[in-house]
């Protein structure tokens, strides 16, 4: 399923919308690259004071596109993991506040994305999870390190 990202400046807030025709945005190579490019330039952009990342009413982000990931060679998988890590670090280290507005499912790499943000605001319908373990995969984007720091070790296990 084709996922995309839309950037819209509303006043001094950059609205970043993760989109997908099936309402379950996936963090494809293209989406990660677009996000990383934008976050790399965000610190110097004086027109932006903060950013808000949102998904659809069904899902903030459903994680990586498993069809895309399953077709990667080992070298490509390493590069994909490094791309995701670079994005998460760019968000986490951004000097401007980055907020994740979460509705619906927030899974796998999408959960990692939300945890990299400075603040998370979740609707009553928000559902968080890391289903990768049951699929025999894990995200390499730092979520397993960020979660205990955010909610404590006891609650993270």
Specify the range with the lowest mean pLDDT, choosing from 97-101, 114-118, 128-132. Answer: 128-132
* Residues contacting residue 79 through CB under 8 Å, at least 6 positions apart: none
Res. 133: pLDDT tops 70:
no
Res. 157: pLDDT tops 80:
no
Query: What pLDDT digit, counting tens, does each position of 74-100 carry?
Result: 999 999 999 999 999 999 999 999 999
Q: What is the dihedral of CA 122, 123, 129, 135, to 10 degrees?
A: -130
CB atoms within 10 A of CB 130: 18
Say what the pLDDT of residue 66 is: 86
Find, among 88, 22, 8, 89, the residue nearest to 54 by Cα: 8
Q: Where are the beta strands (DSSP E) in the chain?
A: 4-10, 13-19, 50-54, 59-61, 98-102, 105-107, 119-122, 127-129
Determine what percent of the chain is predicted with pLDDT higher than 90: 72
The answer to whether the beta carbons of residues 7 and 51 sit under 8 Å apart is no
> Quick one: pLDDT band at residue 134, thresholds 50, 70, 90?
low
* Structure tokens belonging to residue 62: 């459903």
Query: What pLDDT digit, counting tens, does each position of 24-53 carry?
Result: 999 999 999 999 999 999 989 999 999 999
State the residue range of the domain holding 47.
4-156
* Residues contacting residue 126 through CB under 8 Å, at least 6 positions apart: 60, 102, 103, 104, 106
CATH code: domain of residue 68: 3.90.226.10
Determine what percent of the chain is predicted with pLDDT higher than 70: 83
Say what the pLDDT of residue 56 is: 96
Number of structural domains (the chain) is: 1
Across 1-16, average pLDDT: 93
What's the chain's average pLDDT?
89
């Amino acid at each position: 399923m084709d996922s995309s990202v839309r950037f819209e400046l509303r006043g001094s807030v950059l609205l970043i919308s993760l989109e997908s025709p099936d309402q379950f945005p996936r963090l494809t190579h293209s989406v990660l690259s677009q996000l990383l490019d934008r976050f790399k330039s965000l610190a110097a952009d004086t027109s932006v004071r903060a950013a808000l990342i949102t998904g659809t009413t069904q899902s903030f982000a459903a994680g990586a596109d498993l069809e895309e990931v399953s077709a990667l060679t080992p070298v490509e998988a390493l590069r994909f993991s490094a791309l995701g890590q670079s994005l998460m670090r760019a968000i986490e280290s951004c000097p401007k506040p980055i907020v994740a507005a979460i509705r619906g499912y927030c899974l796998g790499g999408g959960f990692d994305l939300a945890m990299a943000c400075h603040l998370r605001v979740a609707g009553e319908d928000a559902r968080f999870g890391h289903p990768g373990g049951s699929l025999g995969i894990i995200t390499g984007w730092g979520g397993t390190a960020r979660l205990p720091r955010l909610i404590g070790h006891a609650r993270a296990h």
